[in-house]
Amino acid sequence: MLFEMLNGMLACEKRSIGDNKPQTLINLVRRYYDEGPDTLIDPLLRGQINILSLHSFKKIAYRCISLNLKDRPTSNRIIKRIEEALNIQSQIHGAPSTITTQSQQLESFLIPLKDIKLATREFNPENLIGDGGFGTVYKGQLSKDRKNCIDVAIKRLNLEGHQGKKEFLSELKLIANFHHQNIIPFVGYCEEDKEMIIVSRYAINRSLDHHLHNPSKRRLLTWAQRLKICLGAAKGLDYLHSGLGKDHQVIHRDVKSGNILLDENLDAKICDFGLSKEGLGTQQLTHVFTKAAGTNFYLDPVYQESGILSKKSDVYSFGVVLFEILSGAMSYVPTKFVDGSPQYLINLVRRYYNEGPEKLFDPIIKDQVGSRCFHIFKELAYQCISLNSKERPTMDTIIDRIEDAMDFQVSSFI
């Protein structure tokens, strides 16, 4: 019925797409689901549907007709997804999100170097908020019309060698086309006077690792807020993996708590796409072979050892983040839970997952977590870091399981 609403045809009718022979609705859905976002839409609706609303609606409809009974959602989950699609359709306006709009030309995003220098006070060290091998990040206030200033993060790429330029071109190619509430908004770029700079909106609460690494800030993150952050980050990654259409599936390749930013409402925003890979759908492949890249301690061991990169590589990295959120420990800092010598987080997880799982709790939130919520969350996170990539869930499944955990968390304290 959901696909009847979307396609404008009855299940018993037949219709042809292109030069192919007429087929019934469900056969068309199974054949063309992964094609361009407007392939299955009633022509009378084109131009009306927000692409993010379509993504949410289409995914839940497809899960309803899964040939695997276990994959079909509950009525409660269907209601949530349709409400989500309705809210997105009602709240998000403007051309960039509609399915009929062409990508904006990059030239419209150009920002003069003089404006960048003004925003950062000539790259003043006092404005520096990040420094790494890729380059430096500054906070600044930017305004093209000199009236309405916005807070921005200005990433100035390090052009020594080829990596900086490669990351700049990769990120620029992708981020201008991203339109999702859990992706950090792109503002513009500068390529002038041998400078390569990416400008995005500034997240006032900075990164997730900034909070987890700082005990006073970590104390402010309740378990309910941590679940909300997990859900938002999962939705952002799900958008990269499947929300852009068959020909534009994106693997982030550097998922970590440092690349999950938090806005004024502690909503999660995925950032930093310099290492990202796209186009698996174009090649009709589920994976590619490439030199392993990413951040140590978050990097998928399968990818690191074999060079096989897939969306499940992002899932592994996200699983590490889930355990960081649960434990309050950073993956790259040796930690001592109770007994034994300090070890890295994932080693401790594999040690205590079955025996003494309560040792994985961050003491700050230990009394806030419902038992069923903890069981679901722990099991999900452990599946994400499976050394068998086939056992790792999809981001869509991760979203459902986090929502299940949130539901049980609420019911535990009613």
Helix (H) or strand (E) holding 377: helix 371-384
**Is 151 labeled as catalytic in the residue annotation?**
no
Q: 224 — alpha (psi -120 to 50), left (phi > 0) or beta?
A: alpha
Q: Bridge partners of 142? A: 150
CATH topology identical between 2-97 and 106-201: no
Asked whether the predicted pLDDT for residue 395 surpasses 50, the reply is yes
Identify which of 23-32, 138-147, 162-171, 180-189 has the greatest average pLDDT. Answer: 180-189
Task: Decide: 101 and 50 in contact? Cβ < 8 Å.
Answer: no
**Residue of 406, 364, 399 whose CA lies nearest to 224:** 406
* pLDDT above 90 coverage of the chain, percent: 46
Note the pTM of the prediction, 2 decimals: 0.81
- So what's the pLDDT on residue 374? 93
Per domain, the residue ranges of the chain are 2-97, 106-201, 208-412
* Region 159-187 average pLDDT: 80
Give pLDDT tens digits for 181-232: 899 999 999 998 889 999 999 999 999 999 998 888 999 899 999 999 999 9
Task: Decide: 38 and 99 in contact? Cβ < 8 Å.
Answer: yes
- So what's the pLDDT on residue 229? 97
Q: Bridge partners of 201? A: 152
Count other C-beta atoms under 10 Å from residue 220's C-beta: 12
- So what's the pLDDT on residue 413? 65
Asked whether the predicted pLDDT for residue 50 surpasses 80, the reply is no
Q: So what's the architecture of 2-97 in CATH? A: Orthogonal Bundle (1.10)
- So what's the pLDDT on residue 135? 83
**Residue of 88, 81, 100 whose CA lies nearest to 52:** 88
- So what's the pLDDT on residue 147? 64
Lowest mean pLDDT among 222-236, 378-392, 399-413: 399-413
Asked whether the predicted pLDDT for residue 97 surpasses 70, the reply is no
Grade residue 51 by pLDDT with cuts at 50, 70 and 90: confident
Q: 384 — alpha (psi -120 to 50), left (phi > 0) or beta?
A: alpha
Strand boundaries in 173-332, DSSP class E: 186-192, 195-201, 250-251, 260-262, 268-270, 277-278, 287-289, 308-310
CATH number for the region 106-201 comes to: 3.30.200.20
Domain covering 208-412, topology: Transferase(Phosphotransferase); domain 1 (1.10.510)
* Region 108-124 average pLDDT: 92
Grade residue 153 by pLDDT with cuts at 50, 70 and 90: very high
Grade residue 245 by pLDDT with cuts at 50, 70 and 90: low
Q: Give the whole-angstrom CA distance, residue 236 versus residue 243.
A: 9
Give the CA distances from residue 184 to residues 105, 267, 403, 409, in Å, rounded to whole numbers and listed in that order: 19, 10, 22, 28
SS3 for 71-95, per residue?
HCCCHHHHHHHHHHHHHHHHHCCCH
- So what's the pLDDT on residue 102? 39
Q: Tell me whether residue 193 is exposed, middle or buried, using C-beta atoms within 10 angstroms of its C-beta: 0 to 12, 13 to 18, 19 or more.
A: exposed
Helix (H) or strand (E) holding 383: helix 371-384
Give pLDDT tens digits for 12-36: 988 887 777 888 989 888 888 777 6
Give pLDDT tens digits for 281-334: 444 445 666 788 889 999 999 999 998 899 999 999 999 999 999 999 999 999
Asked whether the predicted pLDDT for residue 93 surpasses 50, the reply is no
Count other C-beta atoms under 10 Å from residue 290's C-beta: 13
- So what's the pLDDT on residue 246? 55
The active-site residue out of 42, 115, 145, 254 is: 254
